[in-house]
Amino acid sequence: MTDANHPPRKGEERGTMKRFALRALLALLAFAAAGLTGSPAAHAGVPYGTFIYDLSGKEIPVQPAYVPVSFIHGGLKNPEDLFVDANDRLYVADTGNNRIVQLDANGNTVRVIQPDGEGKLNEPNGVFVRPDGTIYVADTKNERIAVFDAEGRFRKAIRRPQSPIIPPNFVYQPTKLAVDERGYLYVATRNGYQGLLLLDPDGAFEGFFGANKVDFSVTDALKRVFYTKEQMQKELLKLPGTVSNVTIGPNGLLYTTSMQVTKGQIKKLNFDGKDLLGEKNYGVTKLLAGQQKQFTDIAVDALGNMTAVDAQFGMLFQYSAIGDLMFAFGFKDEGYQKLGLFKYPSALAVDSAGSLYVLDRTSNLIQTFKRTEFGTLVQQATDLHLQGHYDESAGPWREVLHRNSKYFRAHLGLAKAYYKEGDYGSAMREFREAGDTKGYSDAFWQVRLIWMQKHFTRLALAGAAALLVLAAAWKWKNKIAGRKDDESIEPAA
């Protein structure tokens, strides 16, 4: 079983890494030749390619949506988690040093939480800060959640909850956590396939939340037909994937990442634990034998855009609020030692300006990425589109296409704007450019309907005339047939 706490083996990913390296090189050469980078001085040093998948799953290179601008060291050792509060202050679970480090936006150390005595931490893997400054720490090796006040003073420990629902062999080692506005805790645990632990503000167990499902495929159906009873007993021992991280978005909804799953690697959960994204498949579309996606964290910005990091491939995937891919970028650092590459990205956060912070537990760094004009433009257009403001989104979408005519989601946005305006001919053209056959068919049907309505009178008259002609022809045919019958009867008389 793949563990989030152990980096992937290089042998498993070498083939895919070569493909990504070639893609990154070709993307950079293409943009340099086509003049698509927007700001050559700003983007010339980007060591990775940026792309999207079209509706058929084909990679479409685009110019950078984010560029690396700086890194923060902070004396970290195997850090596992990162949190940015409402005031853009950074908190790091500095796992190897058994402490929590608070940094400002420039990477300067503000304070270190590393108490002795009852509050002493032991390999903390997660950190979450509430708006009032209360700090919650997933104190993993101490098998508890440590709570500190805004001044960094230890207040209490939340230990393993007691409930008959919790299996006796359940290992209570909190790794990540989030706290909602009510004070309820959502806790990810090591190898916790049951889902998140939902605890009330006092630490009492409320239930499991947001668990993954066991994958069931056609192969599994065939096994049920042909396997023996003993073989099926082994199959029933398969467990669902584990939740690797959890966060709370600005809308109050819960977002999770998971491992050892073939879909639903990213979830957007409502208060009933239902995935509002619909169990989609996220990340790279092609895997080599033995490879698994390793989504380690997710961050949600003010617009609801979700950015998730896959440590297996060293890539960031940014999705809209409904789960449509807007950008994918990044690459594994295999000795290049370049800003923008990752060894094992373990955590991710976003600040109020939309900048991304990526924590790398192997290189012990935090890298900062800022949005480009192109990235901002796509996000603006997407947000207007999702709000239903198709007319207002048309301008930004046209500017996106002006910068990159292959960004197919801009064609989709314009298609829906034209459709709403009743310009179905233009909508057909844009749907065709985007490769959306259903949208094209709907627009084409509207064109046919309008044509029929416009020519209804003429069609009705033509139809009526045709009916009169048919009626006259039928009457004439019957009259001729009657005459022939009369002629055949007369000789017999």
| Per-residue pLDDT tens over the stretch 176-198 | 999 999 999 999 999 888 999 99
Would the pLDDT of 361 be above 70?
A: yes
Q: What is the pLDDT of residue 225?
A: 55
More confident: 233 or 149: 149
The whole-number pLDDT of residue 23 equals 54
Q: What is the pLDDT of residue 235?
A: 46
Evaluate whether 232 touches 224 at the Cβ level (below 8 Å): yes
Is pLDDT at 312 greater than 70 in this prediction?
yes
Residue 235 vs residues 89, 170, 231, 232, 238: alpha-carbon distances, Å: 47, 21, 7, 5, 6
Is residue 135 over pLDDT 80?
yes
pLDDT in tens, 277-291: 998 999 998 888 888
Full DSSP string of 149-191: -TTS-EEEEE-----TTS-TT----EEEEEE-TT--EEEEETT
Q: What is the mean pLDDT of the chain?
A: 86
pLDDT the model gives residue 162: 93
d(CA 162, CA 191): 19
Give the Cα separation of 211 and 209 in Å (integer). Answer: 6
Q: Which residues of 425-441 are buried (b: 16+ CB within 10 A; e: fewer)?
A: ebbbbbbbbbebeebbe
CB atoms within 10 A of CB 133: 14
Determine contact, residues 136/117, Cβ cutoff 8 Å: no
More confident residue, 323 or 461: 323
Sheet of strand 109-113: strand arrangement: 81-84, 90-94, 99-103, 109-113
- The whole-number average pLDDT for the span 229-252 is 76
Q: What is the pLDDT at residue 4?
A: 41
Confidence of residue 12 (pLDDT cuts 50, 70, 90): very low
Most confident of 73-77, 381-385, 458-462, 473-477: 381-385
Q: Look at the chain and count its residues.
A: 493
Q: pLDDT-based confidence at 207, cuts 50/70/90?
A: very high
For 52, the token pair is 């999207």
Do the Cβ atoms of 46 and 341 come closer than 8 Å?
A: no
**Residue-level pLDDT at 216:** 56
Closest by alpha carbon to 68, among 90, 92, 44?
A: 44
> If you average pLDDT over residues 160-164, what whole number do you get?
94
Per-residue model confidence as pLDDT tens digits over 264-274: 999 999 988 99
- Better-predicted residue by pLDDT, 230 or 32: 230
- Give CA 9 to chain center in angstroms: 25
Domain boundaries, the chain: 50-213+239-370, 372-467
What is the CATH class of 50-213+239-370? Answer: mainly beta
Cα(172)–Cα(160) distance, integer angstroms:
6
Please report the pLDDT score of residue 334 as a whole number.
85
Q: Give the closest residue to 127 by CA, choosing from 139, 116, 111.
A: 139
- Least confident range of 320-324, 356-360, 423-427: 423-427
Is the pLDDT assigned to residue 346 strictly greater than 70? yes
Give me the long-range contacts of 236-239 (CB less than 8 A, separation at least 24). 238/214, 239/193, 239/214
- pLDDT level of residue 208 (50, 70, 90 thresholds): very high
- The superfamily (CATH) of domain 372-467 is Tetratricopeptide repeat domain (1.25.40.10)
